[in-house]
Amino acid sequence: MTALAAAFFLTALLYASVGFGGGSTYIALLVLAGVSAQLVPVIAPLCNIVVVTGGTIRFARAGLVPWRRVLPLVIVSAPLAYLGGLTPIKQATYIAILGASLFVAGLLLLFQRTRAAEATRKTTGVGDAAIGGAVGYLSGLVGIGGGIFLSPLQHLMRWGPPRQIAATASVFILVNSIAGLAGQLNKLGTSGLASIAAFWPLLVAVLIGGQIGTHAGIRIFSEPMVRRATGVLILYVSGQLLWKTFSG
């Protein structure tokens, strides 16, 4: 547990420095550690919530959250994230979906480009709601906040300035992590809560790491470095999961 907590601490520190929660990497670490597939999508959003709460408050105080554009995203994504978390799924199917989604996330992280100099494009509320709903359901199903999917898409669409996209991702992750966690807990039942309690050191680790990362920001860790290193790790884990799924 000590080594896993140290890895969670480092993940939270790195991700918080660029406005993310780290849910996809928490999942990767938990899977590598052999944690039950029933507990993985519960522990990851819990850690996400701990990390991105501070980031969301920071972005909001700085006036970087475009609330009028964020609302269509989260209003639709939250209930679908809950439904995703509530959806019954077999372990083999979960691992296959997890592997595929992490593979896509890894590619998005590696090839995402920041388009700071380009003019932004205004999307419609319907378009934002559709994106939020699709990402929200997948997020709840696999137990992450969804920022790792949303942010690269927004950069590709030139949705807004990079800092606004980071702020939007932080709010999106927080809302969807809470909604997805509610669905996962409903599905798990009270019998599984005792098992989750044993992982409390991970929550402490991400709390400390997230606070340090939030304050450090990009002054210490560059966003491309964090994104690419995490992308490589996620691709490695997703490859193992997909090989296990289709070779068995």
Q: What confidence score (pLDDT) does residue 230 get?
A: 66
Q: Which of 184, 162, 148 is nearest to 118 (CA)?
A: 162
Give one DSSP letter per residue of 38-96, joined into a string. Answer: TTHHHHHHHHHHHHHHHHHHHHHHTT---HHHHHHHHHHHHHHHHHHHHS---HHHHHH
Q: What confidence score (pLDDT) does residue 190 get?
A: 66
Q: What confidence score (pLDDT) does residue 226 get?
A: 63
Q: What confidence score (pLDDT) does residue 207 get?
A: 93
Q: What confidence score (pLDDT) does residue 119 get?
A: 53
What are the φ/ψ torsions at residue 114 (nearest 5 degrees)?
Answer: -90, 125
* Residue 19 DSSP label: T
Q: What confidence score (pLDDT) does residue 174 get?
A: 92
Q: What confidence score (pLDDT) does residue 205 get?
A: 96
Which amino acid, residue 189?
G
Which amino acid, residue 184?
Q
Which amino acid, residue 188?
L
* Tokens 């669409």 found at: 157
Q: Which of 204, 233, 225 is nearest to 112 (CA)?
A: 225
Q: What confidence score (pLDDT) does residue 223 get?
A: 63
Q: Which of 179, 170, 128 is nearest to 148 (CA)?
A: 170
Dihedral through CA 68, CA 109, CA 175, CA 28, nearest 10? 180
Q: Which of 31, 28, 25, 30 is nearest to 12 (CA)?
A: 25
* Residue 160 DSSP label: S
Which amino acid, residue 113?
R
Q: What confidence score (pLDDT) does residue 54 get?
A: 83
Task: Give the C-alpha separation, 185 to 43, whole Å.
Answer: 10
Dihedral through CA 22, CA 25, CA 30, CA 36, nearest 10? 80
Per-residue pLDDT of the chain (248 residues; tens, 9 = 90+): 889 999 999 989 888 877 788 887 888 788 878 888 788 888 998 999 999 998 888 888 888 888 988 988 899 999 999 998 888 888 778 778 878 887 887 787 777 665 554 556 666 678 888 888 999 998 888 888 888 788 878 877 778 887 788 888 889 999 988 998 888 888 777 666 777 888 999 999 999 998 888 777 656 666 666 667 667 767 887 887 788 777 75
Q: What is the pTM of this model?
A: 0.80
Burial (CB count <10 Å: 0-12, 13-18, 19+), residue 67: exposed
Task: Give the C-alpha separation, 105 to 185, whole Å.
Answer: 25
Q: What's the half-sphere exposure (Cβ side, CA atoms, 13 Å) at 85?
A: 35
